Amino acid sequence: MDTRKLRIATGTLSLYIAFIFVQSLFFKFTDSPETQHIFGTLNTWALSLGLPGVFARSGIFSQYVIGSAELVAAVLLLAGLLSGRALLQGAGALLSLGVISGAIFFHLFTPLGVVVVNSDGSRDGGELFILACGVWLASAAILLLRRRAILASLPGRRAAGKAMA
């Protein structure tokens, strides 16, 4: 893939991920009923495993911690896109992949489910899960498409590359 097409592809993927993450911040940071239901369901599940408070507002995986990680990932992706620095874009994609892998896991293997039943009884039709899968695929695609540039920009790789040349 030529450089221009690569930049367009990774830029589009970065914008998609950043859009999904940034629009979700409103729900997480305002303690919306949907967020209360999701994290409450996960916290109840964790409690049944002997892990009380893990998903509570002050827990290690609270909505604020997850939202902050999503914000950092979005900033890294956008900074990498705007500056042309593959390492920033790669760090954002890697953080995105980690955060969203957790989301997909919890949709699949906890009472939360693929189709989330909201606190008012309505169902999301799997929308959150589908968006999570899209973010996962976009993150993995960025890492795959930019792998050479990311690896080349890692500290120590330049010196090793020059020594081989």
Q: What is the pLDDT of residues 93-128, one digit of tens each?
A: 999 999 999 999 999 999 999 998 877 788 999 999
pLDDT band at residue 70 using 50, 70 and 90 as cut-offs? very high
pLDDT at 158: 56
Give the residue from 96, 162, 163, 164 showing the smallest Cα distance to 133. 96
pLDDT (tens digit per residue) in 114-164: 998 877 788 999 999 999 999 999 999 999 999 998 898 888 765 444 443
Query: Helix or strand or coil: residue 123?
Result: strand
Percent of the chain past pLDDT 70, that is, above it, reads 95
Q: 1 CB contacts (<8 Å, ≥6 apart)? A: 9, 145
Higher pLDDT, 19 or 159: 19
